Structure 1
Amino acid sequence: MPRPTHPYVWTAEGWLYLAVVMDLFSRKVVGWAMGEHIDRHLVLSGLQMALEGRAPPKGLLHHSDRGSQYASSDYQQALAARGIECSMSRKGNCWDNAVVESFFSSLKQELVYRTDFATRQQARSALFEYIEVFYNRQRRHSTLGYLSPVDFENAALPVTLAA
């Protein structure tokens, strides 16, 4: 049976849902949220975290799938208010979200399928550790020259000279 690539994590208490916002330049997960429901509030929380952490300039292109959460007027208004242009996949075109789907696949193979979570809190803690400690700071990516997302971003920063 194929395993879903959706951001659902089973716990003995029920499902825990994960929404992420990824910077495609560095593959860094810059925003994320977890909750008991997969709705516009969940994805808005992940977007808010990304916007607060990055403060992107107007004209940023934000890509998502066609899920109702991302198509909601609240989500679209949040993007428009920051001058962010929305790009969505065509119906049935899974390749447009390949980088994020790859992240979810890695997450499931490296953590979720290997762990039986008794509680949602246990899953939240493990997902936090995976994203913030392992994936962003330690996990190497062939696309990034075998650097972690944080190391890749640090290497790409312009060198500043001390006065």
Structure 2
Amino acid sequence: MTPLRIALWQREREGNPVSPGNLIHHSDAGSQYTAIRLTEHLALESIAPSIGTVGDAYDNALMETINGLYKTECIRTTVFHSDPFRTLADVEYATAGWVDWYNNRRLHGSLGMLTPVESETLHYEALTREPEPAK
């Protein structure tokens, strides 16, 4: 199961399905965009591709930040592993732990020191809350 399928499954399971055509795939101007299989996969999943001009800092800023955090917090430190990586499986296991922590348990300052899951739950509750009657 791909990370995309897992994310969509999780949102559906939590009662927050993603409407078809509401997803955008952000990538750089690299070889991914010349890959026919990626283009076909995005079309089959109703995911819109998004790409800026080559060298457009805003297009890749978020992904570069996440990559930097991943390298610092997961690969170069022992927060998610205690021994040096000896196999690819070691890296994959540590990566899965880091992604789970990053998506579900990290406290985020711009979210009022809530986890992403808590913030998203509050967001969906606010969308479904009945408006209070005017007095």
Q: Answer yes or no: same fold by TM over 0.5.
A: yes
Aligned to 1:20: none
Alpha-carbon distance in structure 2 between the residues aligned to 1:77 and 1:104? 26
Q: State the distance in 2 between where 1:139 and 1:74 align.
A: 34
TM-score by length of 1: 0.60
**Count of aligned positions:** 117
Over the aligned positions, Cα root-mean-square deviation in angstroms equals 2.4
Residues 1:50 and 1:89: Cα distance change in structure 2 (over 3 Å): farther
- The equivalent of 1:122 in structure 2 is 90
- Which one has a bigger Cα radius of gyration? 2
Query: Greater strand percent: which structure?
Result: 1
Identity of aligned residues (%): 33
Q: Deviations over 1:10-29 (max 9, x none)?
A: xxxxxxxxxxxxxxxxxxxx
Greater share of residues in helix: 2
Could you say which structure has the greater relative contact order, defined with CA pairs below 8 angstroms and 6 or more residues apart? 1
Q: How far is the alpha carbon of 1:128 from its aligned partner?
A: 0.7
Stretches of structure 1 that go unaligned for 5 or more consecutive residues are: 1-32, 34-44
- What is the CA–CA distance in structure 1 between the aligned matches of 2:51 and 2:5, rounded to whole Å? 19
Q: Secondary structure at the match of 2:65?
A: helix
Map Cα deviations across residues 68-100 of structure 1 (whole Å, 9 max, x no partner): 124411111111122222111211123212222
Unaligned runs of 5+ in 2: 12-16, 79-83, 130-135
